[in-house]
Each structure stands twice: as structure tokens, then as C-alpha cells.
Amino acid sequence: MKHKTVLFMAALFLFLSGCSSSSLFPMNGSQALKSESEFGVLTTQPDAFQGRAIKLAGRIVGVETTAEGTVVTAEWLPYPDVEYVGPTGTAAESSGLFVLFYPGQLDAEGKKYGNKFLVIGEKEQSQSIAAVRGTSSSLPHIAARCLHVWKTGNNEIETESYTEYFYPAEETYCSDI
């Protein structure tokens, strides 16, 4: 009887650990910018985040594909408490723009105007990336490691639609660099 109890407890532990929420990204331990004041520090004191891993949420407002990868100009949105529901907010609530560089290609649906996303990456020097990639040096620049995109365009991410028949189109892009 004692062995059955131990086996039951071990099986229950394994089951529950498999059901726990996990991050959308394979890398954790980075700081998520959830408030407007945190994003304000990124824009006014960019050296505070230089070389550190950070997580940002945003909405795509422009995309340029280059031979080196994809340059995305985005409106900042607060990072969600629960990653899988995605960022919420509208352009009217956004407090600023930032640029991210992903060293790979996104498909056509992934580059759609208005798509919301989460990104994990590192803060880069604005002047160096701007000179190389032709973007504004006054905007914060992020070197993206992973980018999770909800391919909904300007439509909101419908978390109620997560049924066995329909999931919003979403994709995670991660670089090897």
C-alpha cells in the first residue's frame, strides 16, 4: 500500500508540473517592461538597459526586410501578466515607439500592420544600429532573440476563441544568433 501511495504522489507531481504555465519564450530571467514609466526609462536613459535582456510588447507599425533580417518599428504596449493572452491596448494608449531587429525573416502574415507581439532581446546602441539599418537613432533599438507574433492585424486578440476548433494565428520566431 505504501508503494502505491508513493507512485500515486510521483505521478500526480509529474502531471501537475506538466500543466503549469510556461513562458512563450525558451529564455527567461529577463526584465519585462510592464509600465509606461519603465518604457520611459528605456527611452530617456537607454544606457540603463544596455546589453541586458528585456521583454517588450508592441504593435507593428512598420516593417523593412533586409538581407540581414527584419527591422520592425513598433508602438510600445505594456507587457502582459499572462503571456499567452498577448498584449492589450490601443495606439491611443501607446506612449512611444521602438525599433527591433530580428536576424531572420518573418512570413507575410507575421509582418502585417497592427499585429501585436512579445519580444525578448537586448538593448543595442541606437546610433550603431541606426547607421547600419537606416532607422531613427532617437528610438530605442532592441536586438530580438525571440519574437512571438499574433497574426491578427488591427483586430484584438480574442482569448475567448481558444476552443478545440479555433486558435488565433500566432507564431514564435527565434534566432540562433
Residues 63-111 have pLDDT tens digits of: 999 999 999 999 999 999 888 888 887 655 556 899 999 999 999 999 9
pLDDT for residue 27 is more than 80: no
Domain count within the chain: 1
The domain in which residue 114 lies consists of 24-174
Q: What is the radius of gyration, based on Cα positions, of the chain? A: 19
CA dihedral for 30, 23, 125, 175, sign (positive or negative): positive
Beta carbons within 10 angstroms of residue 39's beta carbon: 23
Tell me the sheet residues that pair with 116: 59, 150
Residue 75 belongs to domain with CATH number: 2.40.50.140
Give the predicted TM-score (pTM) of the model. Answer: 0.72
